[in-house]
Structure 1
């Protein structure tokens, strides 16, 4: 921020004290040398204001700049105005609450694909070379989401997303391609084998053999249970003995997934670490991970999710997981190594 004229004058007067030859100058406020200081301070102030404005106008539009502008989008606020070298929303007369409520974009991630990642030495291109430039290289990808009921959610009001796209089209750099998406959270299904302390976590003894059979067969509930022979597990399995409302493993998984930043990576090791810290858990094993983008239920009611267990980490396509559709299957096994045969 440019200094004021008074600040510049004070700095010149302070510097004057360092020169003994200037000590004999009269201290009269109307002295000619004070007039020259005022003229110089004014000239320097004008110069700094020009530099400041040029710096603002010529600010490089980095990926972080696009993210900053997206989070500053106001829906329903009067049209953009050109002010001080950039487009801005005029929020005059609005309360802080009204301004905050108009910011519908609560989460945003911006990325791009550089040419180096496309041109892989020794690998034959799978697409026409020009397609890389038209569809990938030189495109700024913007993922956005809002918050509903304290959960990350896609912007599903058509006009809101349309208005946001128009806003970005107006402020973006000329010639840049921008691809904007706001999708429903990815589907995630997890299967875990968890050895628990039977003194802390409840497990019905009659269900232990069933859990062990699922582990040994590498099958899921859907694979074993049939409509003709359903097996009903005790719904309290996995709860704390001291509090039947608490399910340490499931709670740890949900808390971990909620805390993954928008467009952040799901890391298998981090999830296992989170479950390991849960009360009563001895050995957590993440046996299977399945995930995929959300689909239209009318098109595919039971989508077949790709198995990504062998991948250590990945980023959900939508930037987040839909926790309402989260499917977690846990096989609880008592940790009784001290009674095993040596």
Structure 2
């Protein structure tokens, strides 16, 4: 913050006292040297105010700055500062800000529709290094071609809201449009910004879980079929058909002491997925660790992982799943998984190794 003229004058006077050669100056109020101190102090004050203002205006905008601005977006605030609306976007202290003077805390919070945001970009060096592995880039035209083709210099913003305590895409007409207009208003000149808000990715998991039969319910009639599903033994067409159409007991996998209403494995999976930060990575090892801590679980084995980008809600075509079992971690395209479409298949096997060794 710039110093006041009086503060600058006092600092000059303090420095004067340290100079013995200046002790002979007259202390008259009309002394010419006091006038010069005032002139110099005023000039310094004007310079500091200019520097301060330029610093505010030229403040570099990082990726984190874009994220903060997105989370601070107020839906319903006009971009016109002369609007009669109670809340508007105004230019203040070198940046655009929402004027929420006449709103209470609930009104302010309700207008913030962006609850989750992730910002990223692709750097040119990464693209050039990748291409140099194939052949050395010599022509400047090739560099610019890669620059634009790979969307280098583009700021990618993923946003989502919360509905019924679940992450959800922004699907209300005009909300995403208004947010894009807001970003276009405040972004740095020349920057390209790509904004998306998609339906959560689909996830399909297959697991073989060895459980404590004293804690977790499993129908004895179903054990043979679970073991058949995880064994590599070839099956006849009739046996395969019977296995594919077998109806397992819906209570399998539930805690016995909780009247078969709590399913430790399924609950651990859902809680883990919900706690992954927005645009965070799905890590197979972390999921297995979370299941391992569930009550009654002895050995959890994640046998298959499949994922698919969400389709348009009006699209009747089923999503195309891709096998991601060999990938240790990946980030969902939408930044999160759709918990309503989560598919989990668990083969429950009684943990009886202590008897097998005898």
Scaled to the shorter chain, the TM-score interval is 0.7 to 0.9
The TM-score, its normalising length taken from structure 1, stands at 0.84
1:315-330 to 2 correspondences below 5 Å: 315-330=331-346
1:165-184 to 2 correspondences below 5 Å: 165-184=180-199
Corresponding residue for residue 85 of structure 2: none
Corresponding residue pairs, total: 337
Please point out which of 104, 107, 112 is paired with 1:103.
112
Tell me by how many angstroms 1:13 deviates.
9.6
Indicate if the aligned counterparts of 1:78 and 1:90 stay in contact, CA closer than 8 A: no
Corresponding residue for residue 74 of structure 1: 74
Corresponding residue for residue 169 of structure 2: 154
Unaligned runs of 5+ in 1: 23-31
Counterpart-to-counterpart distance in 2, 1:138 and 1:15: 50
Please point out which of 92, 117, 133 is paired with 1:121.
133
Indicate if the aligned counterparts of 2:288 and 2:302 stay in contact, CA closer than 8 A: yes
The TM-score, its normalising length taken from structure 2, stands at 0.80
Tell me by how many angstroms 1:33 deviates.
11
Unaligned runs of 5+ in 2: 23-31, 80-88
For the residue of structure 1 that corresponds to 2:217, the secondary structure is coil
Counterpart-to-counterpart distance in 2, 1:170 and 1:305: 38
For the residue of structure 1 that corresponds to 2:335, the secondary structure is coil
Tell me by how many angstroms 1:137 deviates.
1.1
For the residue of structure 2 that corresponds to 1:190, the secondary structure is strand
Corresponding residue for residue 278 of structure 1: 294
Indicate if the aligned counterparts of 2:204 and 2:306 stay in contact, CA closer than 8 A: yes
Tell me by how many angstroms 1:50 deviates.
3.7
For the residue of structure 2 that corresponds to 1:99, the secondary structure is helix
Corresponding residue for residue 62 of structure 2: 62
Corresponding residue for residue 204 of structure 2: 189
Indicate if the aligned counterparts of 2:218 and 2:348 stay in contact, CA closer than 8 A: yes
Tell me by how many angstroms 1:286 deviates.
0.4
Tell me by how many angstroms 1:278 deviates.
0.7
Corresponding residue for residue 216 of structure 1: 231
1:24-43 to 2 correspondences below 5 Å: none
Tell me by how many angstroms 1:81 deviates.
2.1
Counterpart-to-counterpart distance in 2, 1:260 and 1:106: 15
